[in-house]
């Protein structure tokens, strides 16, 4: 039987006090679910309602990764539409999904996401769950950060809510006026809630905007999760190291005197 390679990244409790995990694509296997909801939203718009002269090509996985992944719903809408030469009024958070404002599209995307979750459920990445448990066993505090307002429902459905000492999500961002990734505000709020300095915390992210946020926030170690081979892009965006899966990351036991 072939032996597995030793973990290539080590989290040392002598250097770190906490680990902050992104949710979608790092802990929960829902990045594909989000991408499917975004594709349904944007392909409808590009087919039926894009203005003359706009780029009407279908929404792609590369679009998702570069313009949407890790961002708030509103920021994802406006950033992607700008890449296609489309500008819509921002509108208001309560705009109905059928209206033609950025907020309306964001609300429609959430409806499509809930449809996808109802059909497919929520899976987790076993290695990520194991890493969170190992961190806690070593005495590190843990947090989960997401731009999603569905954090409680997703973690509850996945059965992993008790793995995290603190959380910061889209509901918190709206209530506190926190800017979305790549701004580091969400991660900095997680560190504050954990009672740790950012330089003593690890950020684990799979999104380009997320690793940039970790780097801009001055976190001690930023680990990029390159599930689709995007190691170089994550490193360029600010990750200290990129791994294909969190099985490549080990937590050292806390030293005892």
**Residue after which a domain boundary falls, among 57, 91, 120:** 120
Q: Which domain holds residue 234?
A: 9-30+122-251
Same domain, 147 and 240: yes
Query: String of b and e for 11-38 (b: at least 16 CB within 10 Å)?
Result: bbeeebbbbbbbbbbbbbbbbebbbbbb
17, 22, 29, 75: the catalytic one is: 22
**Residue after which a domain boundary falls, among 120, 142, 159:** 120
With respect to residue 216, please indicate whether it lies within any of the assigned structural domains. yes
pLDDT digits over 82-129, tens only? 999 898 999 999 999 888 899 999 999 999 988 888 887 889 999 999
Higher-scoring residue by pLDDT: 50, 137: 137
Query: Looking at residues 225-244, what average pLDDT do you find?
Result: 95
5, 12, 24, 172: the catalytic one is: 24
Same domain, 49 and 101: yes
pLDDT digits over 159-207, tens only? 999 999 999 999 999 999 999 999 999 999 999 999 999 999 999 999 9
162 is catalytic: no
Same domain, 116 and 212: no
Which CATH number covers residue 105?
Answer: 1.10.150
Structure-token match 């600010």, residue found:
238
How many domains does the chain fold into?
2
Query: Looking at residues 51-76, what average pLDDT do you find?
Result: 90
User: Which pTM was predicted?
Assistant: 0.79
Dist. CA 24–CA 150, nearest whole Å: 11
22 is catalytic: yes
């Amino acid at each position: 039987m072939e032996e597995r390679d030793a973990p290539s990244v080590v989290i040392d409790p002598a250097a770190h006090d906490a680990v902050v995990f992104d949710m979608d694509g790092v802990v929960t296997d829902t990045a594909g679910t989000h991408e499917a909801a975004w594709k349904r939203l944007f392909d409808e718009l590009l087919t039926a309602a894009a203005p003359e002269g706009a780029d009407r090509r279908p929404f792609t996985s590369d679009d998702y990764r570069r313009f949407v992944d890790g961002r708030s719903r509103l920021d994802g809408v406006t950033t992607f539409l700008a890449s296609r030469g489309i500008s819509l009024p921002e509108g208001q958070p309560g705009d109905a999904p059928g209206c033609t404002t950025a907020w309306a599209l964001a609300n429609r995307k959430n409806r499509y996401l809930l449809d996808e979750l109802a059909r497919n459920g929520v899976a987790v990445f076993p290695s990520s769950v194991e890493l969170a448990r190992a961190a806690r066993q070593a005495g590190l505090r843990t947090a989960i950060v997401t731009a999603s307002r569905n954090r409680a429902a997703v973690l509850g459905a996945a059965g992993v809510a008790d793995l995290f000492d603190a959380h910061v999500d889209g509901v918190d961002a709206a209530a506190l006026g926190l800017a979305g990734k790549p701004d580091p505000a969400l991660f900095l709020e997680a560190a504050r809630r954990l009672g740790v300095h950012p330089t003593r915390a690890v950020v684990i992210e799979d999104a380009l905007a997320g690793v940039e946020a970790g780097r801009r926030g001055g976190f001690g170690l930023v680990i990029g999760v390159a599930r689709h081979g995007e190691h170089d892009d994550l490193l360029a965006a600010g990750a200290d190291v990129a791994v294909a899966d969190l099985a490549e990351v080990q937590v050292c036991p806390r030293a005892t005197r």
